[in-house]
């Protein structure tokens, strides 16, 4: 049986590219924006109302506040500003929605104990400075190295591994580190082949 969300997603008009959708609608309708609900390999472009984006931002802010202490959030904001000053975008290594699912079945005391236990092995939750990594965004200059934030990058890795992490000893941090290593190896190979 389908959930209501799955039913709505299935009923929406999806396109294999944003350009295809813009051609169909004659551009981007007022009050809407384009969103890829799929992946880079299997794109599913759709229109979403801008008003929904505001609600998503509110839910995200509430989720972050419930997962992180005020001190952690303040330190993370400073790190985020530093990341942005270098021309990059900040990305949560352990996704906040993943942490929220873990916390949902815990008391506040249990959550604090879980955060302490995870921190001992280098896993951080919420808007913690050690849970942020630098990623390349749409405004990052081409000459700056790094992993892409969205398309072909950190968000795509999350999408591909979401079923692996749940109930596993493999963490988002491990998977992100592996993706970064793989990207760097590929870049080194390309650089060497271009030199020859």
pLDDT at 165: 52
pLDDT at 10: 54
% of the chain at pLDDT higher than 90: 29
pLDDT at 160: 63
**Residue written as token pair 């992180």:** 68
pLDDT higher than 80, residue 164: no
Higher-pLDDT residue of 169, 183: 183
- Nearest to residue 43, comparing CAs of 53, 35, 32, 52? 35
pLDDT at 163: 56
Both tokens of residue 133? 């990594």
pLDDT at 41: 67
Higher-pLDDT residue of 57, 87: 87
pLDDT at 155: 72
Please state, in angstroms and rounded to a whole number, the distance separating the CA atoms of residues 54 and 74: 22
136 and 89 Cβ atoms separated by less than 8 Å? yes
pLDDT at 80: 95
- pTM confidence score: 0.66
Bridge partners of residue 90, in order along the sequence: 134
Please, is 41 exposed, middle or buried when counting C-beta atoms within 10 Å of its C-beta (0-12, 13-18, 19+)? exposed
Q: How much is the mean pLDDT over the chain?
A: 82
pLDDT at 122: 86
Beta-carbon contacts of 146 under 8 Å, excluding residues fewer than 6 positions away, are 88, 134, 135, 136, 140
Please state, in angstroms and rounded to a whole number, the distance separating the CA atoms of residues 114 and 135: 27
pLDDT at 170: 62
In the chain, what is the straight-line distance between the N-terminal and C-terminal CA atoms, in Å?
57
Q: Tens of pLDDT along 32-54? A: 888 877 766 678 888 888 777 77
Q: What is the mean pLDDT of residues 129-144?
A: 88
Please state, in angstroms and rounded to a whole number, the distance separating the CA atoms of residues 18 and 92: 26
Please state, in angstroms and rounded to a whole number, the distance separating the CA atoms of residues 8 and 89: 31
């Amino acid at each position: 049986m389908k959930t209501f969300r799955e039913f709505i997603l299935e009923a929406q008009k999806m396109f294999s590219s944003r350009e295809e959708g813009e051609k169909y609608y004659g551009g981007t309708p007022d009050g809407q924006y384009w969103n890829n609900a799929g992946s880079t390999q299997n794109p599913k472009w759709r229109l979403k109302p801008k008003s929904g984006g505001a609600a998503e931002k509110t839910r995200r802010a509430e989720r972050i506040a419930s997962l992180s202490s005020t001190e952690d959030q303040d330190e993370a904001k400073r790190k985020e500003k530093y990341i942005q000053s270098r021309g990059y975008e900040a990305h949560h290594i352990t996704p906040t929605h993943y942490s929220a699912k873990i916390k949902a079945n815990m008391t506040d005391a249990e959550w604090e104990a879980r955060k302490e236990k995870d921190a001992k092995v280098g896993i951080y939750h919420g808007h913690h400075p050690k849970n942020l990594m630098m990623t390349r965004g749409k405004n990052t200059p081409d000459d700056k190295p790094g992993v892409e934030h969205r398309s072909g990058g950190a968000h795509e890795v999350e999408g591909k591994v979401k079923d692996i992490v749940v109930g596993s000893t493999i963490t988002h941090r491990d998977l992100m580190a592996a993706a970064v290593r793989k990207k760097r190896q590929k870049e080194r190979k390309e650089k060497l082949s271009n030199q020859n």
